Structure 1
Amino acid sequence: AKTARLLKQSGVPTVDLLGELIPKPQVPFVAPDNQQVAELAVQYFLDRGYQSFAACGFRTGLRPMLDQRCLKFQQQIQETGAECALFTPRGGGKEGPSWEREQEQIARWLQGLPKPLALFTCNDTRGREVLNACQTHNISVPEEVAVLGVGNDDILCQLSDERLSSIDVDPQRVGYQAAAVLDSLMQQKPVSDLTFIPPRRVVSRHSTDSLAVTDPELATAIQYIRRYACRQIQVEDVVKQVNLERRVLERRFRKLLGRSPKAEIIRLQLVRARELLAETTLSNTEIAYRCGFNSAAYFMDLFRRKVGQTPGEFRQTSQSPEQIV
């Protein structure tokens, strides 16, 4: 914060990427959109049937943007009518507790929370530390605690056999936008004080590879849909996998996820379509085929109705600058 103030006073064009001065930025600030990050995380866990939630950040005030990220997650969970525990390190004076002490605190905190637990961590560093604490104290991941990070840092997420699921916050676009703001400052053009970049998607790995579903037939149905949604399956195919009548399956499905099996199939098809639009240059025809839609025309019409954009518009706003060029 002191460095940012000195740079501001010196008149040197400066862009903040850490958010240490939030909520009162003294230089232009560019960062991932915490509101949308939290929304993505909440929906991700709800789609997996979780009813117990928690968020884990660092010592309050150390990184205000990361504090805000956890609070946004907690607030949105509470809006669903559920509770969300929030971890705050204790002791250690101004510097906070030692790493070993904090690991013990995290483990004890997790041991006292209801299971299965959906745990949101403020970034991948914190997510990796939580995984270490769970491993050291024999807390099963993801069966007891499903851990989701933010940042999708390849090194941190792939560091061990317990690979960390994480939200891809599109760091290339964040960096590109920060450079654009800096360029405008250097040319003495007006810029926005705050620029927030929407996250791209959740990248699922081992740390969340579980469903918080106690109903075995429902768990089987959900797993089947997740595996084969893009292979033109119908609800009748799902019914064949479980020992239930269709109307019973529909009722249980709606009670848990708030939507029908058919709606879940379509949702997962569109999730995959968004990924392909953002990450490839495949045509609409090829994407429709890969996602299990009957035709490109049907895919484009459905995408526009459900997403609010045409596939082309979505691709233009979702791809990183270097992909667009």
Structure 2
Amino acid sequence: MIGGKTFMPVFKITIFFIILLFTMTLPAYAGVSTGLEWQYRADGDGSMNAVNLDLDVTKQWSIKGNYNHDDDFLTADFIYSKNAGSRVEKYLGFGVRDVLQKSAEQRSVGEKIEVLAGLALNLGFNPRSGVFLTIEAKAVPDTLFHDANPDFLKPTVSISLNYRIPSYPTPKRKTQAITPANISTSDFQLLARLITAEAGDEPLEGQVAVAAVVLNRVNDSGFPNTIQGVIYQDGQFKCLPKLSSIIPTESSFQAATAALNGQDPSHDALYYYNPKLSSPEGLAFFNSGKLRTTVKIGNHIFMTDRNAHNARNAP
């Protein structure tokens, strides 16, 4: 017979995966990550019997649920990450411990409010998905004013290993590219060639982001209103001299299709650059303060105008 102290009850695991499957169906920025957590409390007690479930609801904000089986309580937090999508994400947050009032010692919501800070380190090659190692510290401010506090309110330091599911579905592998109905075959081929030339060595998410930048420019009043016009605009893409000889890869067709279907991991970016390959003039433009970073994917940093979309000639 397996003791309840050793493993979570089956129904709790079932509920956990039902929530996970439900959140996977949410659109756009609703990415999901889940993982196991080891917690160390100020009273010297340590536990690895906790699970996390994070739901990205905007570009920077997420909701995090943490269930600790040893203490049988659920914590809910709101997390803000300014540099979401970077290889190292720094974040702050606040929330409430024991939201379901499961602990033996009942406290008001105000007495259970916690603050937290943490780092999420990407252990893979894709900054927006894959395995993350998270280091986090939590504390309940109300405990600073009391000498005796229950264990579940004491400060904690935790380390967790999480897997983040990409915030957009990966296109299925196809033997032949499918041209979306809303653009011509020539434009579709041109976009795929540009993706191959500009981001052929980048992860699929980075290729989708490059395609999205082109489409964002098409829809922006500061740039030409066609795919050809954007790609052939003077001074925009260094690959133009060799573009006609580029053979598009299968992943570039997948990326073009994904972007044309509305996926935009660049977060509305109008520019991108590789700091290691950009010219001094290009770096001066991107670091001029006129732009703000939206996300970093692979080797590319994606940016948009800080105020108005009126720049036309990025080096």
TM-score (norm 1): 0.24
- Greater helix percent: which structure? 1
Tell me which of the two structures has the higher relative contact order, counting C-alpha pairs closer than 8 angstroms and 6 or more residues apart: 1
Query: Which has the higher Rg, Structure 1 or Structure 2?
Result: 2
